[in-house]
Structure 1
Amino acid sequence: MPVLEAHGVTYSYDGYVTVLEEVGFTVDAGEIVGLLGPNGSGKSTLIKTVFDLLRLQAGSITVSGHEHASPAAKSAAIYLASNDYLPQFLTGREYIEMLGRLYGVDVDHAAAARLFETFSMSGRFGDLIEDYSHGMRKKTQIVSALLLRRPLTIIDETLNGIDIEALHLTGKELGRLRDEGRSVVLCTHDFALLERLADRVLFLDHGVLVADASTASLVDEHGSLAAMVFGRLDAEHNRP
């Protein structure tokens, strides 16, 4: 059974600006799937719809076999947003403890502190988030997902703004999630990262899913993911 399944997802703003049109795909257990597309292609709208942050207007979405707006679906997935808007009045420890309570997970604080150290935040686990840098807040989001280990983790440009060492570590940890049979949807413009990590790639353009194929086959066909994306953009710009 797919961990994430979408059929005919369509979304429009104000009833006339269509940003998603009949989008359908699946994400299987133990799979890392890249989500690509230029700005305005509908990627974030799709992700927010999966998490019921935007109300589904047409089509269907299930998470771990549950209707996406149900409590069971929401407990099976975690969303790492592109921004770093974390509750500044909490410490890192309190934030992760709060997430654990929301998901019904007993947080291993010793493991959390070790991950903070691993991600070059030694001694900061008990500090207020308001004193964290932008990169530290992003890494706190990543650490929370690694601790909660949901069946589905969706990352929306969260990796932007973290240092190269943390990016390398994150790649290794996402690989471990996959090895455990968990699934990751990774939305990023880091084409090289997707070529290293992603089993498959979804390519959205103007709200339409124009590619859904293995990363290897797309690289074989186009030379690289960057060539695929920029080739399509160039073709669009050259249209009369």
Structure 2
Amino acid sequence: MPVLEAQGVTYSYDGFVTVLEEVGFTVDAGQVVGLLGPNGSGKSTLIKTVFDLLSLQAGSIIVGGHEHASPAAKSQAMYLASNDYLPQFLTGREYVEMLGRLYGVDVDDGTADQLFETFSMSGRYDDLIEDYSHGMRKKTQLVSALLMRRPLTIIDETLNGIDIEALHLTEKELGRLRDEGRSVVLCTHDFALLERLADRILFLDHGVLVADATTSSLVAQHGSLAAMVFGHLDAESHRP
């Protein structure tokens, strides 16, 4: 059974501007799937619809065998947003423990503290989030996802703003999630990262799913993911 299945997802703002049009795909257990597309292609709208942050207007979304808006579905998946908006009045420990209660995860403080240290935040686990830098907040989001270890984690540009060492560590940790049979949808413009890590690529443009194929087949066909994306955009810009 796929961990995520979308069929015919269509979304319009104000009933006029269509940002998703009949989008359908599946994410199987134990897969890392890259989500690509230019700004305004509908990526964030799609992700927010999966998590019921935007009401589904047409089509269907199933998460872990459950209708996406149900509590059972929401317990299966974790969303890491592109922004770094975290509750500033909490410490890192309190934030992690809050997520643990929401997801029913008994967080091991030793493991959490070790992850903070691994991500170059040694001694900051009990500091207020308001005292964290932008990069530290991003890394706190990532550490939280690694601690919750949901069947499905969707990352929307969260890797922007973190240092190179943390990016390298994140790549390894996401690979471990896959090895455990968990799935990750990674929305990023880091083509090289996706070529190394992603099993499949979803490419959205103007709300339409342009490509849904294995990373290896797309690289073999186009030479690189960058060549695929920019080639498509150049072709679109020359259409009458």
TM range (shorter): over 0.9
Displacement of 1:153 after TM fit? Answer: 0.2
Residue matched to 1:39:
39
Q: CA-to-partner distance for each residue in 1:154-185, whole Å, 9 max, x for gaps?
A: 00000000000000000000000000000000
**Structure 2 length normalisation: TM-score?**
1.00
Q: Which residues in structure 2 correspond to 1:1-240 (within 5 Å)?
A: 1-240=1-240
- 1:54-103, CA deviations, whole angstroms, 9 ceiling, x for partnerless residues? 00000000000000000000000000000000000000000000000111
- Deviation by residue 1:24-83 (Cα, 9 ceiling, x = unmatched): 000000000000000000000000000000000000000000000000000000000000
User: How far, CA to CA, are the matches of 1:57 and 1:220 in structure 2?
Assistant: 37
TM-score, length basis structure 1? 1.00
Deviations 1:4-40 (A, max 9, x none): 0000000000001000000000000000000000000
Is the partner of 1:173 in helix, strand or coil? helix
Supply the distance in 1 between the matched residues of 2:45 and 2:143 (Cα, whole angstroms).
24
| Pairwise CA distance, 1:191 | 0.3
Shift of 1:238: 1.4
Structure 1 residue ranges without an equivalent (≥5) = none
Query: Which amino acid is the alignment partner of residue 40 of structure 2?
Result: G
Letter in 1 for 2:187: C
SS in 2 for 1:101: helix
User: C-alpha offsets along residues 158-215 of structure 1, whole Å, 9 cap, x if unaligned?
Assistant: 0000000000000000000000000000000000000000000000000000100000
Q: Which segments of structure 1 move beyond 3 Å, counting only runs of 4 or more? A: none
SS in 1 for 2:169: helix
What is the SS of the residue equivalent to 2:18?
strand
Distance in 1 separating the partners of 2:202 and 2:139: 25
Question: CA RMSD, aligned part only?
Answer: 0.4
Displacement of 1:216 in angstroms is 0.2
Task: Classify the secondary structure of the residue corresponding to 2:160.
Answer: coil
Partner Cα distance (2:236, 2:147) in 1: 42
Inter-partner Cα distance in structure 2 for 1:15 and 1:238: 28
d(CA) in 2 for partners of 1:151, 1:95 = 20
Distance in 1 (CA, whole Å) between partners of 2:143 and 2:165 is 14
Distance, in Å, in 1 between the alignment partners of 2:15 and 2:185 is 28
Q: Indicate the SS of the match to 1:78.
A: strand
Deviation at 1:239, TM superposition (A): 1.8
CA distance in 2, matches of 1:3, 1:226: 28
Secondary structure, counterpart of 1:137 in structure 2: helix
Matched residue type, 2:72: A
Separation in structure 2 between the aligned mates of residue 239 and residue 145 of structure 1, nearest angstrom: 42
Identical residues among aligned pairs (%): 88
